[in-house]
Amino acid sequence: MDTIWTGVRERVLALRTAPGARRVFGATFKGYGHGFDLEPPVAEAGLPAAERCGA
């Protein structure tokens, strides 16, 4: 795995407590938003399907 992705999950989750986090685009909007929530990592067997979705 490329080292650029190492620790990305932890860094995104840490953004929840950063100053101004609620103002980040898409974080919160009238009770909706991503809230810096992440789905569980995709297992290696599921990568081909995930890659097709992004194509």
Chunked in runs of 10, what are the mean pLDDT values of the chain (55 residues)? 80 85 75 80 86 73
Q: What is the pLDDT at residue 55?
A: 56
Identify the CA nearest to 26 among candidates 36, 38, 40. Answer: 36
pLDDT for the residue 54:
63
Q: Residue 31 sits in which domain range?
A: 3-53
Tally Cβ neighbours within 10 Å of residue 8: 10
Number of domains the chain contains: 1
What was the pLDDT predicted at 2? 63
- In this prediction, residue 31 carries a pLDDT of 75
